[in-house]
Amino acid sequence: MPLLVAVFVLVGCAPVDRDAYVLQNLAVLNGLPRYPGAIETSVSSTGASLETEGPVVAYTTLALLRLPAGATPAEVELFYRQELRDAGWRLTGRADDVPGPILGFQRGNAFVGINLESWRGRILEVVVDHDQRRATS
């Protein structure tokens, strides 16, 4: 058991270099398909800790996109399901008890979230973590 704890401390809790981590997230983000007509309005990254006041062990990168007028949640969801599946991403979760669906995809250790909760305001949120294991260890 002490060996497992030591590995957890070294791998799961070690602080990370923000710039390097975010750069890798941006590489994943830039490799994703973009819904036709959607325009990126902002990109930001936020640190994640495993405990309150703990060290940052991972970063998620959030891109906000403005959807074109008339885009429906069903159309956007279908686009991402098909395009990400074709690019080797696996759908790992879907929440639909919210104003718009939220989809989770995984490829290797990378995670992508597609959030359509704010579709009425024409806002699509795309969240990326190139190594989700770090934030969940």
Q: What is the chain's mean pLDDT, rounded?
A: 87
Amino acid at 91: L
Q: What is the pLDDT of residues 18-40, one digit of tens each?
A: 999 999 999 999 999 999 999 99
Structure pTM? 0.85
Is the sign of the CA dihedral 101, 27, 108, 78 positive or negative?
A: positive
The residue ranges of every structural domain in the chain are 2-136
Is the sign of the CA dihedral 29, 30, 32, 33 positive or negative?
A: positive
Taking phi first (over 0 means left), then psi (-120 to 50 degrees means alpha), and beta for anything else, what does residue 108 get?
left
Q: What is the pLDDT of residues 86-105, one digit of tens each?
A: 999 999 999 987 888 999 99
